[in-house]
Amino acid sequence: MNKDMVNFSLEGKVALVTGGVYGIGFAIAKALHQAGARIVYNCHTQKSMETGIANYKDAGIDAKGYLCDVTDEDAVKAMVADIEATVGTIDILVNNAGIIKRIPMEEMAVEDFRQVVDIDLVAPFICAKAVIPGMIRKGHGKIINICSMMSELGRETVSAYAAAKGGLKMLTRNICSEYGAANIQCNGIGPGYIATPQTAPLREIQPDGSLHPFDKFIIAKTPAGRWGTPEDLMGPAVFLASDASDFVNGQILYVDGGILAYIGKQP
């Protein structure tokens, strides 16, 4: 490719997408594959592994899956070592694995709070820590943390999730600060409300045929007038994974249909 052209190609790159079995992770993995990357992903259970194998096969993608608990540092180290030995040094890490528990704060058990923080914040730290040495040796690397609008905003029932995603925003900035000189770019994608299996309960049609109240609320608050789709995140992910973003570091790209910029309609 001409050096004067913007380079979005990921040919020859190895991308690890955590939680890349379905939804946002799977859409991002497909996008990186379409741009030329070799895909590896993890999942936590054998059932998820079977789902992942089927999804990638149906999409015509030769991806390699690993059973790995991303909150277990030893397991992550072993997975990364295996990837480096059998596939290649990881060029792109997408920290996508995450959970949410919608529980009012005064009713939430400390164990539930810790589980959300472990998966949504500690695991990205563990995974980034594991891949950074290889990126330093190779002379470049891209880390994409899947943040959230809750990296900026609070809302009822999501205290653990908001705390974790706010922390992930700052982890993103700190990785940039520590490793930018090693030609490692760490940025985040902050999805708005995305139509995935995780958010399906918030979009259920009510018994009287009306929209779920939260569904109506989100549509009214979003200038685009709709929920996002996993496909809306594909282009931003390729940009942040490619050479096109080599001077973009420590940023959160919010893909939210404009919701964070909008105060809402006057009642």
Angle between helix 46-58 and 23-34 (nearest 10): 40
Are residues 106 and 160 in contact, defined by beta-carbon separation less than 8 angstroms?
A: no
User: What secondary structure does DSSP assign to 54-112, as a single string?
Assistant: HHHHHTT---EEEE--TT-HHHHHHHHHHHHHHT----EEEE---------GGG--HHH
Between the alpha carbon of residue 53 and those of residues 35, 40, 41, 56, 62, the distances in Å are 20, 11, 10, 5, 9
Q: Nearest CA to 232 among 258, 198, 260?
A: 258
Give backbone dihedrals phi and psi of 252, rounded to 5 degrees, phi first. -115, 120
Active-site annotation holds for 161: yes
| R_g (Cα) of the chain, nearest Å | 18
Are residues 135 and 212 in contact, defined by beta-carbon separation less than 8 angstroms?
A: no
Angle value at C-alpha 92, between 189 and 24, nearest 5 degrees = 40
Quote the distance between the C-alpha of residue 171 and its chain's center: 14
First to last CA, the chain: 53
Q: Determine the Cα–Cα distance for residues 142 and 113; give it in Å rounded to an integer.
A: 29
Active-site residue among 161, 179, 193, 254? 161
User: Catalytic residue numbers?
Assistant: 161
